[in-house]
Structure 1
Amino acid sequence: MVATDGPSVIKLGIDDAMAGLVLSTEAHWNQTEADWRVFLHDGVVFGIRDGVRLVATAALLPYSGNNAWISMVLVSATHRRRGLATHLVDACLETARKNGLTSWLDATPDGVAVYEPLGFTPTLQLRRLKLVKSTQASLPAPSTATLDALRARDRRATGFDRTALLTAFAQRSGSRIVAAHGCIALVRDGRTARHIGPLFADNAAEALALVHAVARSENGPLLIDAVASQAAFLEGLTASGWTIERPFQRMRFGPATTAAEEMPFAVAGPEFG
């Protein structure tokens, strides 16, 4: 148990995956039970219960180079405006501090107002986009690529070693790593929509071509979390039917510990970085 001055903050275990999924589903997020198991197996997930019911969570997912991602900050509608999220984020930050970790997160506009006073500084911006598709795919899937190729490109773009995360994604039923003309991306299932990302490319035209190829080979809705500074890519997505759902602001607590060699076109998701 983590000591706090407020409600009892506990560490959750792998058996809490379904309870976490209830919270993220209530918030209309796209996570699956498998996503929750990543946080519970590879990270630290803090929670608050009301009796036996899990009513709030926050997760700290460590990466290499003394970095960690804070996410899954969720509070049930019945327990909001009681400071529960602040207590849980404080638990994440204290754990990160004890372990010498720089903390990162992707915040909604409302979240930015919460995290800036805590000492988080903004870095890049993201835009979540959605493509609503018919139920019929029209073309074969793009060529597949190896997990090693994706890992290498991901390391260049993030500065982190995320082998465990990318391996967990790639091993799921329905996941595929696709590539064409120097571009590479991962496509995986979500609760309500398939997710494209991370996506790496040498230029916007090639990134767009790969996304269009994926879209033509997929059934149902798609989500992508595009890097806002990749303006030509973002404009190409919206021109081809993708709609912006919400912005995210990437923020960092602590010193920068790595230097990226390239900028991704889309990330793994605001919960994963």
Structure 2
Amino acid sequence: MVVTDDPPILKLGVDDAIAGLVLSTEAQWNQTEEDWRIFLRDGVVFGIRDGMRLVATAALLPYSGNNAWISMVLVSGTHRRRGLATRLVDACLETARKNGLTSWLDATPDGAAVYGPLGFTPTLQLRRLKLAKPMRTAAAAPATATLDSLRARDRRATGLDRTALLSAFAQRPGSRIVSANGAIALVRDGRTARHIGPLFADHAAAALTLVNAIAQSDDRPLLLDAVASQAAFLEGLTASGWTIERPFQRMRFGPATAGAEETPFAVAGPEFG
């Protein structure tokens, strides 16, 4: 019999939402308890405990078309450099393999250096931007749009049916779906800042106009995860006071799935795709 000191990997339940939030808050991430409940309710979240304390997690969130998103790869500062994250990501990949799923994730530069040797292929790049102090004005807020409109545009851009995810976002207090001039976006509360995304538009000017209208109707810090190839959009954001906080590299493990019909201007977040 092989004896190992490695702590066991456990499947977490909805009662672990607060413990997960403690980990993401330690990492200064923007997730809320409601975000954790999505992963715990609709996906599979693996965790490692030290006694009763949750010290590491990784989540696998299935989408349509045999796809799944890996995220919430977190290790407490007291337990890093012990291989816990690698073990948890391996558990996600094994679950995806057994279910015939292509896995996706949005990695930091350090993470991309780890995931590449595991067999992940880089796809598009993202940039996390922040507007620390929106200038709320008396200008009219952008028009409200329907969930069906957002869902249809999201499917065109991702090739996925994410009705459950977008519905969960839209039903939260403080969330709104807004549109103007062919652009549409979802705005929702985060732990420390409101998040804009996904965001779709026919061209960069329309996307920028909608983002500016959102900023003028909000007084909390705003976050947005822009697609790096939308260069005019990125340039317009930084010119209007947004600052780039960090890059993300989108990566895929497994066969390519159906291509998208358009490129979004901003995504739902690196944890959701």
Q: Which residue of 2 aligns with 1:10?
A: 10
Say whether the 8 Å CA contact 2:11–2:47 is kept in structure 1: yes
- The residue identity in structure 1 corresponding to 2:22 is V
How far apart, CA to CA, are the structure 2 residues paired with 1:268 and 1:113? 23
* Residue aligning to 1:55: 55
The Cα offsets for residues 119-177 of structure 1, whole Å up to 9 and x where unpaired, read as 00000000000001158554332000000000000000000100000000000000000
Report % sequence identity. 84
Residue 126 of structure 2 aligns to a residue in which SS? strand
Give the equivalent residue in structure 2 for 1:150: 150
* Residue identity opposite 1:32 in structure 2: T
Name the residue aligned to 2:173: 173
What per-residue deviation string (whole Å, max 9, x for no partner) do you get for residues 82-132 of structure 1?
A: 000000000000000000000000000000010000000000000000001
The secondary structure found in structure 2 opposite 1:8 is: coil
Say whether 1:24 aligns with 2:10.
no
Once residues 62 and 169 of structure 2 are traced to their aligned partners in structure 1, the CA distance between those partners, rounded to angstroms, is: 16
Letter in 2 for 1:163: T
Question: Could you give the per-residue CA deviations for residues 223-265 of structure 1, whole angstroms, max 9, x where no partner exists?
Answer: 0000000000000000000000000000000011111000000
Q: Distance in 2 between matches of 1:204 and 1:38?
A: 31
Equivalent in the alignment of 1:41: 41
Which residue number in structure 2 is paired with residue 123 of structure 1? Answer: 123
Residues 135 and 216, structure 2, Cα contact 8 Å, conserved in 1:
no
Q: Does residue 76 of the first structure (1) align with residue 58 of the second (2)?
A: no
Q: What is the SS of the residue equivalent to 1:97?
A: helix
User: Does the C-alpha gap of structure 1 residues 137 and 74 become closer, same or farther in structure 2, counting only changes over 3 Å?
Assistant: farther
Name the TM-score, length of structure 2 as normaliser: 0.97
Q: 1:134 to 1:225 in 2, by over 3 A?
A: closer
Distance (Å, rounded) in 2 between the aligned partners of 1:11 and 1:247: 30
1:185 is aligned to 2:185: yes
**Shift >2 Å, 4+ stretches:** 4-7, 134-140
Q: Is the 8 A contact 1:6 1:87 kept in 2?
A: no
Q: What is residue 114 of structure 1 aligned with on the other side?
A: 114
TM-score (norm 1): 0.97
Contact preservation (8 Å) 1:46, 1:91? yes
Q: Counterpart amino acid of 1:104?
A: W
**Alignment: residue pair count:** 270
**Distance of 2:254 and 2:240 partners within structure 1:** 39
2:112 partner SS: helix
What is the Cα-based RMSD across aligned positions, in Å?
1.2
Gaps of 5+ in 2: none
Q: By how many angstroms is 1:58 displaced? A: 0.1
* Contact residue 64 and residue 162 of structure 2 kept, 8 A: yes
